Amino acid sequence: MTATAPPVAPAESPGRLADNALGLPSVLFCIVTGAAPLTAMLFNVPVAVNGGGWATPAAFLIATVSLTIFSVGYIAMSRRVTSAGGFYTFVSRGLGRVIGLGAGLLIALCYMVFVGAVIGVMGYFAASTVETFTGVAIPAWVWMAVGLAIMSLLAWFHIELTAKVLGVMLVAEVLALAVLSVAVFVQGGAEGFSAAPFNPAEVFGNPGALQIFGTTAAGIALFAAFWSWVGFEMAPNYAEESREPHRIASIATYGSVIGLGVFYMIVSYAFVTGWGLTGSVQAVSDQLNGVVASAFYPLSDRFVGGWLTVVIEILAVTSSFACAMAFFNTANRYLFALGREGVLPRALARTSKHRSPAVASLTTTVLVALYCLGFVLYDPSTEGALTKLGTWSPLLGVLGILAVQALVCVAIVRYFLTTGRDGFRVWSTLVAPVLGCAAMVGACYLLVDNRAELAAAEGVPFITLLPYVPLVIFLAGVVTALVLRARKPAVYAGLGHFSLTDPELDTPQEVVA
């Protein structure tokens, strides 16, 4: 009788995540909670009003159209490449390994910055809400530490558990905003209904912003709009853990972009209608001057009742936690992908017994903690968690992700003109990516040009140097790729080329870490 070695349990094999773990609803929960609808509205609508006045719904309309066009080519690419590498993999396939690695390091940094930013927002809401209800003042940094610890624990377990937690939080915050919006519309708002807030031309030189603030800044309005969608592109990052990844990626991406767009336009229009056109700008001015904690709270008090305001205050904490958790998961998967390919230490590709990216998760925890610690040392106040960590960081992250999205558009065009020639389509793989690239480049310019006003921190080194940080990280990735090409050609050959179904080879591929 011949003895045979026992098979290695799949959960213990490095370099592979749990397959068939997520269905369409779970992937949607992971994506949409990254956008954090309630936090996006409470935080970003006032920012958008500050720049574009009562034309904020139009800013969300512009972003919806731009990101939908971008998604056309993005989905075409995701049908060809299935990997946790997301943007990194797509750029590598279309523009080569050198540029791809630059994009990979940059996008991994962006998502870790997003985690830190939203943890700061969560810490602020948690500290202020607890103090309001109990009178006990606990510093925001304590809540930030608690939130990061819980995220790390959840990340150790099966991704489906995380998706369920995120799903419950998402449903609650969407319902709260829906109740407020319906109440405003049923009661006719403050001055009735107007179509003017949906006119894109009103974003530029809005009379309401000029009257109250004395100036307008379309870049600020569009930044707030695009920031509200960060994370919509996560579907391909969960492809390895999804059932029917190609179908799910398509539905989840389009569903999140268009669904969130419609929802954001409805809620922002309810905000403008509830206050009235000029009144909405004045309400934001009052919030910025500390008269009210949030311009949304008086609306919920007036049109629904104090109970909804209390619910929204609580959900502001859970919503920001869910958002940070979604970004945390995506950052893990970028580190996992880079570790699996040998760019970063291969230990990052080790998984837990639940087939989660355990080492990558722990690494993300440490890096995010150090990033947040820097801001806490700079300004340990509860307000600082929101106005500095929660406001300055998104500028860096959004700039980086918009730049990478522009690169992805170029990569899509080149990929389908070369390797994927058989899948070339004029609209989806040429025209749409070109238009998407133009939109992303324009948004980057407006963000950089308005960064001092956005941060309300002119002359601060973090803001002054902000445009150069993504460039430095990108070039670091480029140099790393060139070094690997010269010294470790075998590792270089695998950059951005792990895929469960690789059309270039037409066979399943797996890189063992």
Q: Report domain extents, the chain.
A: 15-493
Q: Lowest mean pLDDT: which of 210-224, 234-248, 437-451, 486-500?
A: 234-248
Mean pLDDT of 464-473: 94
Interatomic CA distance for residues 64 and 46, integer angstroms: 18
Quick one: CA torsion of 371, 218, 225, 283, rounded to 10 degrees? 90
Q: Are 303 and 183 in contact (CB under 8 A)?
A: yes
Interatomic CA distance for residues 81 and 51, integer angstroms: 39
pLDDT tens sequence across 490-512: 889 888 766 554 444 333 333 33
Interatomic CA distance for residues 54 and 281, integer angstroms: 6
The predicted pLDDT at position 272 comes to: 97
The predicted pLDDT at position 33 comes to: 61
pLDDT at 392 over 80: yes
pLDDT at 32 over 80: no
pLDDT level of residue 7 (50, 70, 90 thresholds): very low
The predicted pLDDT at position 252 comes to: 77
Buried b (16+ CB within 10 A) or exposed e, 270-303: bbbbbbbbbbbbbbbbebbeeeebbbbbbbbeeb
Q: Lowest mean pLDDT: which of 8-22, 159-173, 212-226?
A: 8-22
pLDDT at 240 over 60: no
The predicted pLDDT at position 12 comes to: 38
Q: How many other CB atoms sit within 10 Å of the CB of residue 201?
A: 10
Mean pLDDT of 60-79: 89
Q: Which residue has the higher pLDDT, 456 or 43?
A: 43
Rounded alpha-carbon distances, angstroms, from residue 364 to 115, 431, 498: 9, 37, 22
The predicted pLDDT at position 481 comes to: 95
pLDDT level of residue 256 (50, 70, 90 thresholds): confident
The predicted pLDDT at position 58 comes to: 96
Interatomic CA distance for residues 84 and 447, integer angstroms: 29
Q: Using CB atoms within 10 A of its CB, is residue 306 exposed (0-12), middle (13-18) or buried (19+)?
A: exposed
Mean pLDDT of 421-450: 91
Mean pLDDT of 163-168: 66
Mean pLDDT of 314-330: 85
β-sheet bridge partners, residue 507 = 502
The two most distant CA atoms of the chain are separated, in Å, by 90
The predicted pLDDT at position 419 comes to: 87
Rounded alpha-carbon distances, angstroms, from residue 32 to 77, 147, 171, 174, 359: 21, 19, 10, 11, 25
pLDDT at 374 over 80: yes
Q: Lowest mean pLDDT: which of 53-62, 140-149, 236-245, 262-271?
A: 236-245
Mean pLDDT of 310-322: 88
The predicted pLDDT at position 506 comes to: 38
Interatomic CA distance for residues 475 and 482, integer angstroms: 10
The predicted pLDDT at position 21 comes to: 52
DSSP string, 489-503: HHHHHTTT---SSBT
Q: What is the pLDDT of the chain when averaged over all its residues? A: 84
Which stretch, 80-89, 101-110, 329-338, has highest mean pLDDT? 101-110
Q: What percent of the chain has pLDDT over 90?
A: 46
Mean pLDDT of 421-449: 91
pLDDT level of residue 29 (50, 70, 90 thresholds): low
Specify the CATH number of the domain 15-493. 1.20.1740.10
First to last CA, the chain: 34
Mean pLDDT of 217-242: 74
pLDDT at 323 over 90: no
Q: Using CB atoms within 10 A of its CB, is residue 257 exposed (0-12), middle (13-18) or buried (19+)?
A: buried
Interatomic CA distance for residues 342 and 349, integer angstroms: 9
Amino acid at 405: Q
pLDDT level of residue 161 (50, 70, 90 thresholds): low
Work out whether the CA dihedral 324, 329, 334, 336 comes out positive or negative.
positive
Q: What is the pTM of this model?
A: 0.83
Q: Are 495 and 101 in contact (CB under 8 A)?
A: yes
Q: Give the three-state DSSP class for 327.
A: helix
pLDDT tens sequence across 18-28: 454 555 666 66
Q: Are 441 and 462 in contact (CB under 8 A)?
A: no
Q: Lowest mean pLDDT: which of 92-96, 150-154, 301-305?
A: 150-154
Buried b (16+ CB within 10 A) or exposed e, 362-392: bbbbebbbebbeebbeeeeebebbbbbbbbb
Q: Are 171 and 25 in contact (CB under 8 A)?
A: no
pLDDT level of residue 2 (50, 70, 90 thresholds): very low
Interatomic CA distance for residues 205 and 245, integer angstroms: 44
